[in-house]
Amino acid sequence: MLRGRSSRDARSGRHPIADWLSGKCFALVHESNLVYNTCWEDPRLDREALRIGPDDTMMVITSAGCNVLDYALCGARGIHAVDVNPRQNALLELKIAAARNLDHGEFFSLFGRGRLKHFAALVRGPLAKDLSPYARSYWRRHAAFFQGRQSFYYRGSSGAIARFCNYHVDRIAKIRDAINELFAAQSVEEQRRIYDRSIRRAFWTGFMKKVLGSDTALAMVGVPRQQREQVEHHFGGGISEYIEQAVEAVFARLPIRDNYFWRVYLHGEYTPECCPEYLKRENFARLKDVVDRIRIHTSSVEQFLRRTNARISRYVLLDHMDWLSTYRRAQLESEWQAIVDRAAPNCRLIFRSGGMKVHYVDPIRVRVGGKVRSVGSLLAYHTALAERLHALDRVHTYGSFHVADLNADPANESSKD
C-alpha cells in the first residue's frame, strides 16, 4: 500500500485495491479472449456522420469487424482496421476470407446463423490461403465456436454474458414468449405495452442488477473500470440503473423490428431481414469486390499511426479513449499527437463515451507547426448532428456520441490558446 493513503483514497473517493483487482480482471479477460463477436456501434449513425466518399482513407478500431465491412460497402478508398487484440483481427480476417471464397448461403450460415457444420474443413481448405498464420491457427483451435451446439454469438466473453441473460430469460424470469412478441411488435406503442406488462419487472431483479453492474460482467463485455467511472460521474443512479434505462430505451422507445444488435444476442442469430449490411444478399457481390481495400494491423492506434505513411481522412475511435482517460493520460496525449500528425485535410472523426459529456479530450496539448495547441482548438464539433443521431442509436449503451472535423493544418489554425 502506498504510504500516506488508506485503503480508500480520501481525496478521490476511490479504492486502490478495488481498482487494482478490477484492472487485473479486465486485463485477464482481454489478454486471453475474443471479447466482441459482433460490433455494438450502430453504423447507420456512422455513415451519416462520416459521409464516407471514394477519396477517404479510414482508420477504424476493428472490434468484431462488422462495421469495417459496412464502411467498405460505403466506398471508402482504403480502410486500416487496427486492434491490440489479435483475436479481434482474426475474426475480421475470417470474414474477409469467407467473403472471398464462399457463396452467400454458406457466408450467411457462418455469420448470420452463427453455425456451419463443416467450418473446420473450410479453415483447413479454401479459407486457409486468405488467413494469416495466427488467424489460421486460432480458428483451427476454435472450430467449435461455429460447429458446436451453441451459436457463435454465445461465444467469447461478451457471448458468455449474452448466454447468461438468455438463461435468465428462459429459466428464471420465463419471459421468452414476451421477448418474441416484442420483436414481432408493429409499433413502438405496442413494444411499450409488452415491455411494461411482461418484461421490465420480471427481468430486472435485484440479482440481475447486481450481476450486470459488477466489474467482472462489465469487463466481459469490454467495459473497464475507467469507463464505469465516466458513466457514474454523470449518472447519479449508478451503472446498474444506467444499463436498465438503456435497455428500456431500446425496447420501449425505439423501433425494434430492424434492431439486429439486440436480436442476435437474444436469439443467437440474425434473420435475412434483420442483419448488418455486410450479411445482406443484395450486398454480397459488392462485398467481394471491396474487401481488398481493407488492411489489418495488430497494434495500438498510436503504434499504427507512427508506422504508416497514410493520410487519414476518417477516424473511427469507438469508445477506447474512455479506457485511457483515467490511468493512461500520457498514452492518450501521445495518441492524439499521432492522430493530428497523420490527419488529412478535411479530416473528420467520431468517438463514443460512456459519459454523457467528455471533458478529457479538449485540454490535451499537441504540437502543430512548431506551436503547442489544445486538441479542442483543432476540433470543430457537430454537436447538433451528433445529438440527433445519438437519440436514434439502436444499441443505446453509450452515454454520448461525438462528431468533429479536425483541422491540423498550421496555416489555418485558430490563434486562440
Q: Report the side by side order of strands in the sheet with 400-406.
A: 294-298, 78-83, 57-61, 312-316, 343-353, 400-406, 379-381
Q: Is residue 166 part of a domain?
A: yes
Q: Is residue 200 part of a domain?
A: yes
d(CA 59, CA 347): 11
Write down the pLDDT at residue 28: 52
**Number of structural domains, the chain?**
1
User: Three-state SS for 80?
Assistant: strand
Q: Is residue 29 part of a domain?
A: no
Q: Is residue 211 part of a domain?
A: yes
Q: Is residue 242 part of a domain?
A: yes
What does each of the 417 residues of the chain score in pLDDT, given as a tens digit?
A: 233 333 333 334 445 545 544 454 455 555 668 999 999 999 999 999 999 999 999 999 999 999 999 999 999 999 999 999 999 999 999 999 999 999 999 999 999 999 999 999 999 999 999 999 999 999 999 999 999 889 999 999 999 999 999 999 999 999 999 999 999 999 999 999 999 999 999 999 999 999 988 888 888 887 777 777 777 776 777 888 889 999 999 999 999 999 999 999 999 999 999 999 999 999 999 999 999 999 999 999 999 999 999 999 999 999 999 988 877 889 999 999 999 999 999 999 999 998 888 999 999 999 999 999 999 999 999 999 999 999 999 999 999 999 999 998 765 544 333
Domain that holds residue 244: 152-267
Question: Model pTM?
Answer: 0.90
Q: Is residue 121 part of a domain?
A: no
Q: Is residue 119 part of a domain?
A: no
Write down the pLDDT at residue 237: 72
Burial of 291 (C-beta count, 10 Å sphere; 0-12/13-18/19+) = buried
Answer for the pair 274, 260: CB distance below 8 angstroms, yes or no. yes
Answer for the pair 159, 153: CB distance below 8 angstroms, yes or no. yes
Q: Is residue 362 part of a domain?
A: no
